[in-house]
Amino acid sequence: MKREHFENYFGQQYQLFPSDVAGDEIVGGEMRLRQQADHKISIKNAIPRFVPTKNYADSFGLQWNYFRSTQLDSFTKKPFTRNRFLQTAKWTDAQLKGKTVLEAGSGAGRFTEIFLATGAKVVSFDYSNAVEANYRNNVHKGDVMFFQGDIFDIPFSDASFDFVFCHGVLQHTPSPQQAFYALEKKLKPGGRISIDIYHKDGKIRPWKSKYLWRPLTTRMSPEALLAFLKVFIPLWLPFDTVIKIIPVLRNYLGAIVPCWNYFYTGLPLKQQVQWAVMDTFDALAAQYDIPVTLNDADQWFKNLGYLDYEVFEGGNGIVGNGTKPS
């Protein structure tokens, strides 16, 4: 964490007690609340830690530190993440340049690098230690500050950010609706928010095969599950590819054995296997997996008085974009 970021984001609430400094970077130490000195936040590997090391998102820490660069456009040399961002959030580079962005649930930082390329000022956090992977990927790419924190207890004043972004996260919290409300509080009036979440639509689809197996896989240690998938997926992937190209039947045959398949992407086979292992693990290991209906997501915006918003199928299932009422 840079001293400048401490002053900008935490200086009014906390005092800084560094123990390890490299230039203007605070690598180790702690922050103490000014009004409650016994309330201490540790700084480890240049990242403030507002949550316990062990928590319900541990599988994501394992996942994103292992697959640290797999999804990054800068690694694949293909604009998968940028295209998805433009199709879902629909924010432009010009709108983001120089603005403050709060990114919740960053993973390894596939979207973080997209924001930084626009010239935005980014605050990115994750509940798991996946934030360490994001730090290594993106710390030198622009104006960015990282912390490990809880979406239900974000350590900033309300109405602090111009943009709030949360994709691939809400379904993995104990209460997606309350997580959305907690995020939305940090958005300035007139600011823009973009979320996505799994879709509860009652249809049989290949990606729903995970629900047959999650009662078992969520009881396994994440390490054991990942080790199994690293062996199983390369063996099963050719058979799954055949299944996934059969019209109509693919929705039903593919809904039995979970395998996230990216044969259509044009990625080299080695990367296709990495993506398949990574996303199959993602689906089977997460402690929480709570989809919602389109009506549910629509109601979230209505409950907060939004008039300028849209909810549609896209992203991980459902996308919700809105401009906060002034």
Mean pLDDT of 65-69: 98
Q: What angle do the packed helices 176-184 and 294-303 form, to 10 degrees?
A: 40
User: Which residues are within 8 A (CB) of 88 and not within 5 positions of it... i.e. 6 or more apart?
Assistant: 167, 194, 196, 314, 315, 319, 321
Residue 4 to residue 20: CA distance in whole angstroms: 16
How many C-beta neighbours within 10 Å does residue 88 have? 20
Residues 138 and 116 sit within 8 Å (Cβ to Cβ)? yes
pLDDT above 90 for 54: no
- List domains and CATH numbers for the chain: 50-199+292-323 (3.40.50.150), 206-285 (no CATH)
Class of residue 234 by CB neighbours under 10 A (exposed 0-12, middle 13-18, buried 19+) = middle
Mean pLDDT of 201-221: 95
Mean pLDDT of the chain: 96
How much of the chain, in percent, has pLDDT values that exceed 70? 100
In this prediction, residue 35 carries a pLDDT of 87
0.85 surpassed by pTM: yes
Mean pLDDT of 5-13: 94
The closest alpha carbon to 128, from 113, 100, 148, 142, belongs to 148
Residue 204 to residue 153: CA distance in whole angstroms: 36
Phi, psi of 298 (to 5 degrees): -60, -40
Residues 204 and 255 sit within 8 Å (Cβ to Cβ)? yes
pLDDT above 90 for 192: yes
In this prediction, residue 234 carries a pLDDT of 98
Measured in residues, the chain has a length of: 326
**Amino acid type, 160:** S
Q: pLDDT tens, 87-128? A: 999 999 999 999 999 999 999 999 999 999 999 999 999 999
Residue 180 to residue 324: CA distance in whole angstroms: 13
Residue 105 to residue 86: CA distance in whole angstroms: 19
Mean pLDDT of 59-84: 97
In this prediction, residue 53 carries a pLDDT of 81
**Amino acid type, 239:** F
Residue 201 to residue 6: CA distance in whole angstroms: 44
In this prediction, residue 37 carries a pLDDT of 82
Mean pLDDT of 38-45: 95
In this prediction, residue 168 carries a pLDDT of 96
In this prediction, residue 248 carries a pLDDT of 87
Mean pLDDT of 153-165: 97
In this prediction, residue 281 carries a pLDDT of 98
